[in-house]
Structure 1
Amino acid sequence: MASEFGAILKDWRKTRRFSQLDLSLEAEMSARHLSFLESGRANPSREMVLRLSEALQLPRPAANQALNAAGFAPVYPSLSDDAPELAPVHQAISAMLDHHDPFPGYAIDRHWNVVNSNQGAQMLLALASPGGPANLIDILINSAGLDLIKNWDEVAILSLSRLRTEILELGGDEQLSALAGRLASHERVRKVDMASVNLNQAVIPTIFQVGENRLSLFSVIAQFGSVLDIRAGETRIELMFPMDEATVQFFAR
């Protein structure tokens, strides 16, 4: 009978579309030993669990789950937001966002909830969802009936593609799947003619209409490379940059 670890290993191998031979080569181990681990005929060492987690590119919560199933303590912490150890991380996020002003910048968690933002972003978020949700997908959905995002269809299709990619990389996520389902089922998204969506562009901006001002912005997304805490390590900082001089001048004013 397969062990709990063996079942987790097999599920993730299939999720990543690896054969046993593919994974054994990636993890530099024998296919026979991998087969024994999946079937429960062999038990992994802590080093082997970590090696397989790296080969499968497991999200940190999944790596912790695999370690626990194999009888080992988790290696990735999950601290509270106010933990002293995370103060430098929060300071770094705030510094990045503040230095990016007046152009919009915000930090989002794994489920696209806005956890921090600068003044430029707060202005746009207030226009899109005044007093409403602080989740970017909810904000996008709520703005469908407004004239705020001129290329709403394009932005929605790209956001849906990004959501689905993230769900695949995470091996599934109920909250992200629910957000993707809501966006995919939106009337405007269902009516999008994909032939009319120009994806053959070097940069695809989000185009806002603010009064008489047409603002064109593209995003750069950053994540921490050396933060092992699960939630902090999943935080993404999205900085929006102007595509033209008119957008530069608007935010400068």
Structure 2
Amino acid sequence: MPSEFGAILKDWRKTRRFSQLDLSLEAEMSARHLSFLESGRSNPSRAMVLRLSDALQLPRSAANQALNAAGFAPVYPSLSDDAPELAPVNQAIATMIDHHDPFPGYAIDRHWNVVNSNRGAEMIMALASSGGPANLIDILINCAGLDLIENWDEVAVLSLSRLRTEILELGGDDHLSTLAGRLASHERVKNVDMGSVNLNQAVIPTIFRVGETRLSLFSVIAQFGSVLDIRAGETTIELMFPMDEETNRFFKR
């Protein structure tokens, strides 16, 4: 009978679309040993759990779950946002987005909630938000009925693709799936002509209309890959840069 660890291992292998042979080669182990681990005939060492977690590119929370199922303590902490150990990370995030001002910069958590932002981002979000906690997908959906985002269809389709990729990488996430479902079911998204979305562009801009001014921005996304804390490691920093001189002058004013 498969052990709890064996079941987790098999589920993630299928999620990543690996055969047993594929995974055994990636983890540099025998396919026979892998089969024994999945069936529960063998128990993994701590080092083996970590090796398989790396080979499967497990999210840190899933790696902790696999370790726990195999009888080992988790290796990735999940600290509160105000934990002293995270002060340097929080300061680094604040420094990055503050130094990016006057251009928009913000940090979002795993579920696309804005957890920090600079003045440029707050100005854009104030035009788009319907009130309440700022979530980028909620803001995007709210903008569908406004004239704020000129290329809303393109931005929505690309955001949906990014959401679905993140859900796949995480092996599923109910909250993200709900957000993706809301966006996918929007009438404008359902009616998008996919042939009209040019995915061959080097940079996909977000084009805002503020009065008579047309603002064209593209995003650079960063994460703290070396931070072991689960939530801090999942925080994404998005910095928006102007694509033309008109946009550059607008924000500098």
Counterpart for residue 24 of structure 2: 24
Q: How does 1:14-163 map to 2 (within 5 A)?
A: 14-163=14-163
CA contact (8 A) 1:111 1:175 kept: yes
Q: What amino acid is aligned across from residue 191 of structure 1 in structure 2?
A: N
Q: Which amino acid aligns with 2:87?
A: A
Letter aligned with residue 153 of structure 1: D
Aligned partner of 1:4 in structure 2 is: 4
**Residue 250 of structure 1 aligns with which residue?**
250
Aligned to 1:215: 215
Q: Deviations over 1:215-234 (max 9, x none)?
A: 00000000012100000000
Deviation at 1:100, TM superposition (A): 0.1
TM-score calculated relative to the size of structure 1: 0.99
CA distance in 1, matches of 2:130, 2:27: 50
Letter paired with 2:22: D
By how many angstroms is 1:130 displaced?
4.5
Amino acid of the residue matched to residue 26 of structure 2?
A: E
Shift of 1:56: 0.2
Map 1:155-194 to 2 at 5 A: 155-194=155-194
Unaligned runs of 5+ in 1: none
Runs of at least 4 residues of structure 1 off by over 4 A?
Answer: none
**Are the counterparts in 1 of residues 130 and 142 from structure 2 also a CA contact under 8 Å?**
no
What SS does the corresponding residue of 2:144 show, helix, strand or coil? helix
Corresponding pairs, count:
253
Identity %: 88
Paired residue secondary structure (1:10):
helix
Alpha-carbon distance in structure 1 between the residues aligned to 2:169 and 2:32: 26
Looking at structure 1, the residues matched to 25 and 87 of structure 2 have their Cα atoms a distance apart, in angstroms, of 40
2:153 and 2:133 mapped to 1: Cα distance?
20
Q: What is the TM-score when the length of structure 2 is the normalising length?
A: 0.99
Shift in Å at residue 132 of structure 1?
Answer: 3.8
Q: CA deviation at 1:40?
A: 0.1
Q: Report the secondary structure of 2:28's partner residue.
A: coil
Structure 2 SS opposite 1:237: strand
Determine helix, strand or coil for the equivalent of 1:110: coil
Q: Distance in 2 between matches of 1:214 and 1:234?
A: 33
CA distance in 2: counterparts of 1:133 and 1:148, whole angstroms? 20
After superposition, the CA RMSD in angstroms is 0.6
Higher mean alpha-carbon deviation, 194-203 vs 166-175, is at: 194-203
Structure 2: tracts of 5 or more residues without a match: none
SS in 2 for 1:57: coil
Q: Deviations over 1:83-134 (max 9, x none)?
A: 0000000100000011000000000000000000000000000000152440
Contact 1:133 1:139 (8 Å CA) reproduced: no
Letter of the 1:227 counterpart: V
Q: Which residue of 2 aligns with 1:226?
A: 226
